[in-house]
Amino acid sequence: MKISIVTIAFNAEATIADAARSVTEQERDGFELEYIIVDGASTDGTLAGLEPYRHAIDRIVSEPDSGLYDAMNKGVAAATGDFVGILNADDAYAHPRVLALVAAALKAAGSDALYGDLHYVAADGSNRIVRKWKSGAFNRRAFLHGWMPPHPTFFLRRSVYNRHGLFSLELKSAADYELMLRMLFKHQTSVTYVPEVLVHMRTGGVSNASWKNRWRANREDLMAWRMNSLRPRPWTMVLKPLRKVVQWLY
């Protein structure tokens, strides 16, 4: 099995080394690893921060793009692995056995997708846990109640991208939600849940930066359903942000 990891970066000098280190230090037990960096023509020291890990990076694309999801599409298109995982420049894998665990679970289940749990950590690099996102076992109907898996823990078979498409460039902050809704709910792609923390994600996501951004994200969430000719329940869009409250209680 070959797993391709795509890291998306733009002016990520402060965090890119942590992300790259967490990938390149993965124990390659039972799988082959391909690592791809897609940089949006950063103007800071992002590329310099990758130099210590350059020997373990298979490809670096550094050029202007049309945003986060355009960069993700470039990374998926460049990947040659059986499965693709996307790790942003301000995220990191929780420990060096994450990808070996993912590979073993995918082989055992024979599924086309996988997700796990995630910890939000402080933006200061201290790795202090701020929130805990415990995804729970997969239930397709949970999407109707505002559920979604954490995208940085999501791995998808490359052939499924080829069959059902990449990230929508119509959406600015919810294209990851739309893609998982399309793959798991609409097309009912087989999926495995690993009940372990796979990723540490720094706080400060764009969609949660303000009430204005949260309102915009909620409107995009609704668009994601409509784009797929799907009808959410009246309470779906209300419950989706409220689910984040539970993450503070673990």
Task: Give the mean pLDDT of 213-236.
Answer: 88
pLDDT digits over 116-142, tens only? 999 999 998 888 999 999 999 999 999
List the CATH code of the domain at 2-247. Answer: 3.90.550.10
The residues spanned by each domain of the chain are: 2-247
Q: Lowest mean pLDDT: which of 12-26, 197-211, 220-234?
A: 197-211
Instruction: Determine if the pTM surpasses 0.85.
Output: yes
- Distance, CA of 169 to CA of 68 (rounded, Å): 9
